[in-house]
Amino acid sequence: MAKSNETQGYLIAPDPGAARLTRPVRGIDQNGQPVDTSVVEERPLTIFLNSQEIVTAMTIGDYPDYLALGFLRNQGMLHTEDVITGVDYDDDLETVVVRTEVETSYEDKLKKKTRTSGCAVGTVFGDMMEGLENVRLPATPVRTSWLYGLAHQINRTPSLYLEAGAIHGSVLCQENRPLVYMEDVGRHNAVDKIAGWMLSERAEAADKILYTTGRLTSEMVIKTAMMGIPVLASRSGFTAWGVEIAREVGLTLIGRMRGQRFICLAGEDRLERDMDPADAPVEEKKHKRKSAE
Amino acid sequence: MAKSNETQGYLIAPDPGAARLTRPVRGIDQNGQPVDTSVVEERPLTIFLNSQEIVTAMTIGDYPDYLALGFLRNQGMLHTEDVITGVDYDDDLETVVVRTEVETSYEDKLKKKTRTSGCAVGTVFGDMMEGLENVRLPATPVRTSWLYGLAHQINRTPSLYLEAGAIHGSVLCQENRPLVYMEDVGRHNAVDKIAGWMLSERAEAADKILYTTGRLTSEMVIKTAMMGIPVLASRSGFTAWGVEIAREVGLTLIGRMRGQRFICLAGEDRLERDMDPADAPVEEKKHKRKSAE
Residue A233 has pLDDT above 90, yes or no: yes
**CA-to-CA distance for B183 and B118, rounded, in angstroms?**
37
Residue A123 has pLDDT above 80, yes or no: no
Residue in B27, B262, B293 nearest the CB of A263:
B27
Q: Which residues is B177 bridged to in the sheet?
A: B174
Q: Which residues of chain B have pLDDT under 50?
A: 1-2, 115-123, 291-293
Contacts of A168 in chain B (CB under 8 A): 293
Query: B144, A185: Cβ pair inside 8 Å?
Result: no
What is the predicted pLDDT for the residue at B118?
A: 42
Distances (CA, A) of A155 to A32, A37, A286, A289, B61: 33, 21, 9, 8, 34
User: How many contacts does A have with B, using Cβ atoms within 8 A?
Assistant: 226
pLDDT of residue A76: 86
Alpha-carbon span A206 to B179, nearest angstrom: 50
Q: Identify the structural domains of chain B with CATH numbers, from first to last.
A: 43-132 (3.10.20.10), 142-287 (3.40.140.10)
Q: Give the mean model confidence (pLDDT) for residues A2-13.
A: 77
CA B211, CA B178: separation in Å to the nearest integer? 9
How many residues would you count in chain A? 293
Count CB atoms within 10 A of the CB of residue A15. Answer: 16
Please report which confidence band the pLDDT of residue A108 belongs to, taking 50, 70 and 90 as the band edges: confident
**Alpha-carbon distance A234 to A232, whole Å?**
7
Inter-chain residue contact B29 with A261, CB threshold 8 Å: yes
Across the interface, whether the CB atoms of A114 and B111 are under 8 A apart is answered no
Residues of chain B with Cβ-Cβ distance to A279 below 8 Å are: none
- Entry field: residues in chain B: 293
pLDDT at B119: 43
Q: What is this model's ipTM?
A: 0.87
- The nearest CA of chain A is from the CA of B200 a distance in Å of 24
What is the pLDDT at residue A118?
Answer: 42
A214–B261: do the CB atoms touch at under 8 Å? Answer: no
Strand ranges of the sheet holding A43-49, from the earlier edge strand across to the other edge: A52-59, A43-49, A95-100, A84-90
| Contact at CB, A268 and B213, closer than 8 angstroms | no
CB contact burial A174-212 (16+ within 10 A = b; e otherwise): eebebbbbbbbbbbbbbbbbbbbbbbeeebebeebbbbb
Structure confidence at residue A113 (pLDDT)? 59
Q: What is the DSSP letter of A280?
A: S
**Cβ neighbours of B255 in A, within 8 Å:** 27
Minimal Cα–Cα distance from A181 to chain B, Å?
17
**pLDDT category, A186, cuts 50, 70, 90?**
confident
Q: Which helix (H) or strand (E) holds B240?
A: helix B240-249
| Chain B nearest CA to A207, separation (Å) | 22
Nearest CB neighbour to A236, from listed B213, B260, B293: B293
| Residue B281, pLDDT score | 87
Residue A167 has pLDDT above 70, yes or no: yes
Q: In which band, very low, low, confident or very high, does the pLDDT at A288 lie, cut at 50, 70 and 90?
A: low
What is the amino acid identity at position A111? K
CB contact under 8 A, A46 and B122: yes
Q: Which residues, in sequence order, are bridge partners of residue A170?
A: A182, A212
Rounded to the nearest integer, the mean pLDDT of chain A is: 89
Which has more confidence, B74 or A271? Answer: A271
| CB-based burial label for B74 (10 Å; 0-12, 13-18, 19+) | buried
Extended beta strands in chain B, E state: 22-29, 34-40, 43-49, 52-59, 84-90, 95-100, 142-143, 168-174, 177-184, 208-212, 231-234, 252-258, 261-266, 271-272
Entry pTM: 0.90
B19 phi and psi angles, rounded to 5 deg: -65, -35
For B125, nearest residue in chain A (alpha carbons): A56
pLDDT at B91: 92
